[in-house]
Structure 1
């Protein structure tokens, strides 16, 4: 299996900070929006710049599910937390609403946690 590609907004310091954490905890190939190949873009939704994505050999995950899939690949503790969270009633709705809430405020989060480059 190829290394999963973590697609993120490379114009967002908070997004890059999050990618750094993912790279520290797991094995991913970081791909900024500005670096996407035509083949990679074709696998993403039209509004791909609204959230993060995880591209694997067999699937493309977006937004909250991309975050969940990324966390599951970051070691036993994040994997266990995701496993427990998946058991919550209405987990998918909670996950997406939470993801959107954080993503819509990334300029604020970037004041506290920001990075220049994920690699």
Structure 2
């Protein structure tokens, strides 16, 4: 794998909005759960459908870390990357990041009213 890849729930309008946000703004490939290759699937955690994942040659970032890494790549040399690096120095940051991710993920129906795109699996050819 040479291109960083965001793996997401391609049957979720809110998730699709975020995936396309990253696709439009960063050098990243987006792949839905339904389009996983065996090689990519092998790199993901066992319960991969529980959240999104950002896969690079060296790492697999899951859940809140996946969106954090995506945001850092949108602004790779700027303030977002610096802020992420700074926040990672704090003991409670990871816990808070993941709690925030879970809170939003468990309310995708609500957030999807504001940020949503037709998921790839529901698009007509």
Give structure 1 regions of 4+ aligned residues with deviation exceeding 6 angstroms: none
TM-score by length of 2: 0.85
**Partner SS for 1:27:** coil
- How far is 1:88 from its partner? 4.0
Gaps of 5+ in 1: none
Match of 1:53 in 2: 53
In the alignment, which residue of structure 1 is the partner of 2:114?
Answer: 112
Q: Which residue number corresponds to residue 78 of structure 1? A: 80
**Residues 58 and 82 of structure 1: CA distance in aligned 2, closer, same or farther (over 3 Å):** same
TM-score w.r.t. length of structure 1: 0.89
Alignment RMSD: 1.7
Give 1:39 shift.
1.3
Report deviation, 1:89: 4.2
* 1:35-89 per-position Cα deviation (integer Å, ceiling 9, x unaligned): 0011111111111111100111111111011111111111123213323432444
Query: For residues 72 and 55 of structure 1, what CA distance do their matches in structure 2 show?
Result: 14
Does the CA contact (< 8 Å) of 2:11 and 2:119 recur in 1? no
Q: Number of aligned pairs?
A: 118
Separation (CA, whole Å) in 2 of partners of 1:41 and 1:60: 11
Deviation larger for 12-21 or 85-94: 85-94
1:117 deviates by: 5.3
Measure the CA separation in 1 of the matches of 2:102 and 2:95: 11
SS of the residue corresponding to residue 18 of structure 2 reads helix
